[in-house]
Structure 1
Amino acid sequence: MIDYFSSVLNSSSLPADFFGRIIFILQNYGGSLLQGAGTTLLIAIVGTIIGCIIGFIVGIIQSIPVTKRDSMAKKVIMKIVKGILTIYVEVFRGTPMMVQAMFIYYGSAVLFDINMTMWFAAFLIVSINTGAYMSETVRGGILSIDNGQIEGAKAIGMTHLQSMTNVILPQALRNIMPQIGNNLIINIKDTCVLSVIGTVELFFATKSVAGTYYTYFEANTIAMVMYLIMTVFFSKVLRLVEKKMQGPADYNLATTDTLAHTSGMVHFQTKRGGRK
């Protein structure tokens, strides 16, 4: 990449005006910026999906009730598990992703002699960070569902896991869908911190371009527009998904079965023998 930048530097002259420099950067480095944007989207989307799965698992475990009738072993195990999950959530919600990236990427090599690849480290960091935030969102979504539905599910013989997967979570998912979309938008922007571990995403590519000609303002202007296009596009898509999940504004009663008709099917005999 350095040789490529040097060859362009030697063979091209940088325009003096602002828009001329923008066009020059797009002509010579547009491919690198698009490739960086593609990496940004891939990491953000995959990290958000895996993070949502982690969040749902943690949220379900955190919502498992412990009653006085439960055995002592279950009480102890659940207390330990919930304590570990609480520490995980608090640590990753209370520290910046940039610090987490450097701690995990470099710390794993120093402490455990684990040399992660750039892709694995990027997916892992974004996923566990998103999972910490999503776990609290899922827990709040579960608590937003009326307790009567959980009691009704248990009354017909469902276990806690069955009541969660078949009754509670489908409704909670609709309630927390805006937050899932918000996490995706945040991840698209926050992947820029992964440049500290050598991830060649959009911000890393922008820094490389800007450092070649010292066009920091022009290069970052292009990056800002590219980030804005990506976030606005996915915001619109997620709003369409939310609207689809809400269903139609009104619901008509299905009356294919004659027993479901609300009127006109029941007749009463009058005193004269006619129908009323």
Structure 2
Amino acid sequence: MALGVPDPRLEEAVLGEEENLHPYAEPLPEGAGFFRRLARFVKSDHPYVLLGTSAVAAFSLACTATLPLGAAGRVLTVACLAWLAFSAVALVAKAVLRGAYRSRCPLARVTLRKPLRYLSYLVWACAIALFCLGPVAHFVALCQGAIASPTNPSGFLESAVYMLYNGRQLFVTGVTTTIELALFGTVIAFFLALLLVFLRIQTPDRGENDAVRFFKAVGAGFARLYSTVVRGTPMMVQGAIVYFAGLAVFRGMGWETAHINAVWSPFWAGLVTISLNSTAYMMEVLRGGIEAVDPGQLEAARSLGLSQWQAMRRVVFPQGVKNSIPALSNELIVNIKDSSVLSIIGVFDLMFATTSVIGIYYKGLEAYCIAAVVYLILTMVFSKVLTMLAARLDVEAPGPVGSTTDPAAAPARARQS
């Protein structure tokens, strides 16, 4: 080869090596899923494989150095130490060879990049497992000690575990009652809201007689009044009114206390309260979804000979309900949290169970933290389920966990779509 004339084969090899060092030259198509991106990341070459993985392994070893580890922990420790030793050898070789490292060191061969990369993934997994194993082993030992303790421990976490384990029957009963109230109350409220929203959106028709127009005006006025009163008063006050009003009615009928308690328990009063309260909010959400439907569709249905009831039932209502599904489903999440106020009338929900545990062990902070974690888990689980359901129904998924009392939410989403 003449001096100063580049070798084409050498240029091709260098270019191929540079392409391997820059695997993201061609970006993924827009909308690529998580698993596709993960597969692209796993198959691609990365710089500083030895250094980055060594840093993770060293951090994991430092965090678990003083923690007691079993056989699995010792195996993971050996794997991380072996990688650190291997990286140290590579570092020494690079320092000694310097400029000739790429051409003379076997570790710099292109054929070893993929094996080293996959081996680094394995070491990453070992380091993460080791990092998690230490705290997990410590937490398991803490839980075992708290459960076996004859008295309530003094530590915060130990005491919380002790109270959760010994009061598990109370917490399970409270969680079950909370879920039942939220689920059944939301379903009942949905059907009541359908009825009230139909009354709410009624407008007098010129072709109707005076009696029909009068009843339409009365129905719309009642729906507006109901929405104003219920949404303007707290659920706690509503629950107390419903419960004691029911007791007064049954006592006025001459019933004895034992018979009243068998029929009108705090649970049924709480279910009625949640149903009536959610009805007002769902009615406004449905009204917003129905008003988001193009008015021309109602006019077209009426021009085809359908009555107002038929046009609403067959054309407008289905579209309005679909527009309102995200906000309606979020009402279930709201009811899971808001049902906690019903403990004041004796409903044995999660909040009532928490206060019962506090009365037994006289520790409020630990018990309320347990309740907060349980409420958070319930809302996250139901939010995930509702998101999956929305995907199946081909509608917008519910937003972040929170209140959906804004009637403008449904029409705003409908206009954006």
Give the TM-score normalised by structure 1: 0.81
Give 2:321's aligned residue: 173
CA contact (8 A) 2:270 2:347 kept: yes
Q: Secondary structure at the match of 1:66?
A: coil
Q: Secondary structure at the match of 1:91?
A: helix
Q: 191, 194, 198: which one pairs with 2:339? A: 191
CA contact (8 A) 2:267 2:348 kept: no
Partner Cα distance (1:219, 1:46) in 2: 27
Percent of paired sites with the same residue: 36
What is the 5 A alignment of 1:123-272?
A: 123-246=271-394
Q: 2:247 is matched by which residue type in structure 1?
A: A
Task: State the aligned residue count.
Answer: 238
Give 2:165's aligned residue: 27
CA contact (8 A) 1:145 1:171 kept: yes
Partner Cα distance (2:178, 2:395) in 1: 32
Q: 205, 208, 223: which one pairs with 1:70? A: 208
Q: 2:195 is matched by which residue type in structure 1?
A: I
Q: Secondary structure at the match of 2:393?
A: helix
Give 2:175's aligned residue: 37
Structure 1 residue 70: deviation in Å? 2.4
2:221 pairs with 1:83: yes
1:79-124 per-position Cα deviation (integer Å, ceiling 9, x unaligned): 2222222221111110000000111111232356374222321111
Give 2:232's aligned residue: 94
CA contact (8 A) 1:118 1:197 kept: yes
Partner Cα distance (1:63, 1:24) in 2: 55
Give 1:5's aligned residue: none
Q: Secondary structure at the match of 1:13?
A: coil
Give 1:53's aligned residue: 191
The farther-off stretch of 99-108 and 222-231 is 99-108
Structure 1 residue 243: deviation in Å? 2.0
Greater relative contact order, per chain length (Cα 8 Å cut-off, separation 6+): 1
The farther-off stretch of 193-202 and 25-34 is 25-34
2:268 pairs with 1:120: yes
| Structure 1 residue ranges without an equivalent (≥5) | 1-10, 249-276
Q: 1:147 is matched by which residue type in structure 2?
A: P
Partner Cα distance (2:222, 2:267) in 1: 27
CA contact (8 A) 2:325 2:395 kept: no
Aligned Cα root-mean-square deviation (Å): 1.8
CA contact (8 A) 1:206 1:223 kept: yes
CA contact (8 A) 2:289 2:324 kept: yes
Structure having the higher Rg: 2
CA contact (8 A) 1:174 1:246 kept: no
Q: 231, 242, 266: which one pairs with 1:104? A: 242
